[in-house]
Amino acid sequence: MSNEKQVDSGRRGLLVATCAAGGVVGLATTGALVSTFQPSERAKAAGAPVEVDISTLKPGEMKTAEWRGKPVWILKRTPEMMASLAKTQDKVADPDSLKPYTMPMPDYCEKQSRSRKEHADVLIAVGICSHLGCSPSSKFAPGAQPSLPDDWAGGFLCPCHGSTFDLSGRVYKNKPAPQNLDVPRHMYLSDTKIVIGKDEKGEA
């Protein structure tokens, strides 16, 4: 009788250990499955599209997202900022963005605003200077400031070598930067959510 009890308890212990191990493997497998639904760091670096919520973005404000390891600016321009684009039209080197930097400007973007017609006030641009790859600083306030002209209309200043860009990311004439800031392919899922790196034609 005592031998049978020992065998039963041994089997019971083995069964408990097996179930516990199975539970750990099951949890690990579930974790692996859940993680596969999240974009991996490699996928992000390779250029997986990025969704950005702009519901809290107010006129005159800018937020930065990351796409392909680069900063992408989303600037919601005020009516005054939009009006400044006509003033800088003759001062920028490539007003119609005919000379792309690393990607052509999407054909659905208007030339002056460099944004979609239905969201003309929102600029989406890669914040990398076309000279040596520095990231320009925002200088939205108009008027004379250090390192800027007296008739400054607002825009961006590259701290590395002094290239200046207007509020559409167009580089001013006679600056080290040879091209405008890139405008990536993008689309609106709604008025408050955008996708960077993807549009109606597919992924960039």
Rounded average pLDDT per 10-residue block, the chain, 204 residues: 49 47 44 42 68 97 96 98 97 96 95 96 97 93 92 96 96 96 97 95 86
pLDDT, residue 178, reads 95
Distance of CA 139 to the CA centre of its chain: 20
Domain segments of the chain: what residues? 49-203
What pLDDT is recorded for position 15? 43
Classified by CATH at the fold level, domain 49-203 comes out as: Rieske Iron-sulfur Protein (2.102.10)
Strands in 30-103 per DSSP E: 50-53, 62-67, 70-76
Using alpha carbons, select from 184, 97, 181 the residue that is nearest to residue 134: 181
Instruction: Write down the pLDDT at residue 204.
Output: 80
pLDDT at residue 85, rounded to an integer: 97
Q: Which residues, 6 or more positions from 30, have their beta carbon under 8 angstroms from its beta carbon?
A: none
Tokens matching residue 94: 């490539």
Q: What is the pLDDT of residue 18?
A: 47
Q: Which of 80, 179, 64 is nearest to 132 (CA)?
A: 179
pLDDT of residue 133: 84
Q: Convert 64-85 into a string of H (helix), E (strand) and C (coil).
A: EEEECCEEEEEEECCHHHHHHH
Amino acid residing at 7: V
